[in-house]
Structure 1
Amino acid sequence: MTKFQTAVLVHLGEMIRQVSFTDPGAHSSNIQVVKHSDAASSAAAILYVIFFHLALQNYAEGDLFEDDGHTFNFEKKNAYIHKKYIFSNNSLSSRSADVNGQFATASWIERVVIMGAARPTSVHLTNADGSKLTLDFEHNAETSVLTIRKPAVNTATDWTISLL
C-alpha cells in the first residue's frame, strides 16, 4: 500500500499550497515550511521555520519554492529557487531541486523543529563551502521534539545539519 507525505507551505497561518508525494518508506511523515515574518517588499528578508514529522524510518522530505511573489519572472527568467529538504540518517540536507532556477534572496532559515527525534549530543551545520558550526538546540524528552534555533542559513544555499 502506498502512503503519501504532505509538504504544506503556510503564509501567516494560511495554507498557500499543499503538495503530496509518495513516501518511499510507506509510512506517513510530513514537512511544513512556515513563513515566520511577512516581508514589506520583495527585498526584505523572510524568515522560515521548517517543521519535520519523522516517519518510522526516521525519514522525511519536502520542498521549498521561492520567487519574488509578484511577477512572472519565475517563468520568463527562471528567477526562483526550488530546494529539496531530506532528513535521513540523522542529517537534514538542503539541495537544489532545480538547477535552472537562479534567485538572489535575503530569506533564511530561522528555526528547524523535528518531531519524533531522539536527543542528540550535539548539532552541527556544514555549509556548501565546507565550513562547520555548532548549533544550539533544545530537546523535549516528553514530546520527542528537537528545536534547532538560528541555523541562519540562506534559503538559496546548500547545507547539511547533522545530529550527533
Structure 2
Amino acid sequence: MLYVESPIGVGFSYSNTSSDYISWNDTTTADDNLKFLLNWLEKFPRYKDSDLYLAGDSYAGHFIPQLASLLLEHNKNPNIGPIKLKGVALGNPLLDLDISMESADNLWSHGAISDETLMLEKTVCKISRYYKELFVYNNVSKECSDVLDRINNE
C-alpha cells in the first residue's frame, strides 16, 4: 500500500518552492499525482504490473476521479506499458458544495439539532452559501458563524 498526500502542503507533503503552495488547483494536483506515480513506478519497477486501486476521502472526491481519468488517457498511448487501474474508492467524498455541505437537514432528522437551530441555519446561514463564502471568498458573516457554532454545540 502506498500513501500519497496531496496537494502540496497537505499532511507531511511539502515543496522547496514557495509558489507551489499558492499555484495548485484540481488540474495541477491530478497532473502532479500522475507524474509522481510514473516516477515512482520507474524507481520501483517491480510494481509496474501490479493492480492499482485509488482511494481517498473528502476533497479526494475531486482528485481521485481526475487522476483516474488521466491514467486512462495515459494508458491509451500504445508506446508505453499501461498502468493497471482496477478500481476507485471514495469515502465521504466532497463532490459538490451545494450537495455535500447541506448537512443541517440530516442532523435535524437524526435529532442532533433542534427545530429552532435548523430554522436559523436555513434563514440566517444557508450552509452552502457559508462554505462558498469561506472557501471561495474567505469571508463569513458573524451571524452565520454564530449559527454554525450553535450547531456544533448541540
Question: TM-score interval w.r.t. the shorter chain?
Answer: under 0.3
Higher relative contact order, structure no. (Cα contacts within 8 Å, ≥ 6 residues apart):
1
* Bigger Rg, structure 1 or 2: 2
| Structure 1 or 2: more helix by fraction | 2
User: Normalising by structure 1, what TM-score?
Assistant: 0.26
User: Normalising by structure 2, what TM-score?
Assistant: 0.28
